[in-house]
Chain A
């Protein structure tokens, strides 16, 4: 096995579009994935993330644009000549072959004979901790076990690139969380470039080096999980990654200050949105705090509201606060903070400096999963 730094392939998509008749599945998407990177394509269903994966795998041809894998154009190269591992949500194990034969299949196709083949099958099964199941048929395995075998089959021929299409989508939460860590470990050990498709933002945050957020056939933003959470560039990204409170209302600006009027109460921040777009205020749950009505300070933004939902999380509590204009704010508080019950009248307090201003975008409200 080569050293991790040389094993991964770079991927370069430039202005890739895919049309089905008049429907635009992908609209001028450009994305560069570095060798050995774990890139997640995140987005709601129908956003183009799976289309992008299928184009890289060779299952779908592009309508226009270019695609390089490992520095070479693969446009027109059929799937079976691309040497790319693919893991599917539906496992796609061959039901008429044992686990061992399934994993050996790509090696057999490449003319690799025993004993080398057997050793590599064993090594791949060892990597996913399934060595004891080689003689079983897929129908005798659980969903999680089948997916681990599918993973072994996709990595056994040492592809420089591994594509995964919602591989944990059909599994329950506990198993999913455990397999996420397993996938992370395998990525670290192999050094292969991983491209992972999911609609689950938590999964994306756990796994990825970088995340590309898809919406309506376009990429909204590419960045690390922290970048997407702290510095979202669009309202859609803000809403899709992490919990968020969006404040909307009649805006007014004076100097460098922006104010928004929410049911007669003004909230301000010493920031301005470049350009003439209508601003919306984004606040992450940990930037907000709650006090009983009238107990707040003076030099902060205060919005009155009522507790609509109180969720105990173990490590703290999560509250949904209904504001005067009926919009909802999400607040997370720590264990030692004051607790509230549903129906309590509260004040929502936040500092103007914690506000993130974003262009108000109708598109952000569509296609929420």
Chain B
């Protein structure tokens, strides 16, 4: 068919095939319709309502935003939310990078075990995992016993920012490891051999070849973890204390305890906009001036 379609005397079938393709493409739109509908109904609509109510309750105007920026504790919590999320992201990079690397170099059986180790906690409810962390991190918990045992403790972990970061990092770690692994497994390890033949020590070959090629995975994982961390509710609520309150807890307080939808909505909108601004600032970082270091030539 390809040969016939390119024959100028026989354009009939080619045109028909093109028409059919266009028809199919038009029909294919309907394949995304269910997902689109779900997004509009379950995300777009509530978001629009929340935004609307942040301007309309108790009366029309900017009063909820004026309240938000006029109350110092709100700004402190907003800043703290970003700081905690940044620490969580950093912790995930540090813990996830070597883990994902090991996943790419071990045999298939060991790799399966490592993937399961990442995914199994994923299948356990976040609430259960967080409660487990409460037990582990409490003043008389396992971790403190060990720290005291080696003469470094006791350390206050529960109801502190450190405890919140530890718990959130553990919950969010899979979101770092999986994108990192998918990028790393496409890196051609023979490039490291080439670097060594050119005179690079193993450490330099890693820093100058492997690391730059794995950065897209770090960015992808970091952005997912950071965004999820910004909106985290359960873990900071259970592990944190008054000095580690995150914005989600304040929102919950406004909406569920004080029934103030206007102020809660305004806080949500502020968080959303701040996230977008940060992403826009980070975007140039993740743009790579090349195609990936894929094994396929």
Contact = CB atoms under 8 A, between A and B. Distances in A.
To the question of whether A and B form a pair in one complex, the answer is yes
A193 to B, nearest CB: 15
A86 B188 CA distance: 16
Interface stretch (B25-33, B86-94, B193-201, B233-241): B193-201
A133 interface: no
Nearest to A137: B290
A79 interface: yes
Nearest to B193: A59
B76 interface: no
A47 to B, nearest CB: 21
A85 interface: yes
A85 B297 CA distance: 22
A95 B191 CA distance: 9
Interface in B163-200: 188, 190-191, 193-200
A170 interface: yes
B194 A110 contact: no
For the complex of A and B, 8 pairs with smallest distance between CB atoms: A92-B194, A86-B197, A106-B198, A139-B291, A95-B293, A109-B199, A79-B196, A80-B196
Given A59-B193, A90-B188, A94-B209, A137 B289 contact: yes
Interface of B: 188, 190-191, 193-202, 204-205, 208-209, 212-213, 288-294, 297
Interface in A145-191: 153-154, 157, 170
Query: Which of A86, A95, A154 neighbours the largest number of chain B CB atoms within 10 Å of its CB?
Result: A95
A232 to B, nearest CB: 34
Contact of B212 (A79, A86, A96, A105): A96
Given A95-B290, A96-B288, A96-B290, A109 B198 contact: yes
Contact of B188 (A81, A92, A143): A92
Nearest to A150: B194
Contacts of B290: 95-96, 137-139
Contacts of B188: 90, 92
Given A85-B198, A88-B194, 11 more contacts: A58-B197, A88-B190, A88-B193, A90-B297, A92-B191, A96-B213, A96-B290, A96-B293, A109-B199, A139-B290, A153-B198
Contact of B297 (A59, A84, A91): A91
B170 to A, nearest CB: 32
A80 B213 contact: no
Nearest to A143: B297
A60 to B, nearest CB: 11
Contacts of A137: 289-291
B198 A105 contact: yes
A137 B293 CA distance: 11
Contacts of B194: 86, 88, 92, 94
A164 to B, nearest CB: 12
A110 B294 CA distance: 27
Nearest to B187: A95
A128 to B, nearest CB: 16
6 contacts: A59-B197, A79-B196, A81-B199, A88-B190, A105-B208, A170-B297
Contacts of B289: 96, 137
A95 B199 contact: no
A204 interface: no
Contacts of B292: 95
Nearest to A139: B291
Contact of A157 (B199, B202, B212, B213): B199
A83 interface: yes
B293 A94 contact: yes
Interface in A57-103: 57-59, 78-81, 83-86, 88, 90-92, 94-96
Contacts of B195: 94, 105
B150 to A, nearest CB: 37
A106 B288 CA distance: 23
Nearest to A82: B197
B199 A83 contact: yes
A81 B201 CA distance: 8
A92 B294 CA distance: 10
B199 A80 contact: yes
B291 A106 contact: no
Contacts of B200: 80, 105, 109
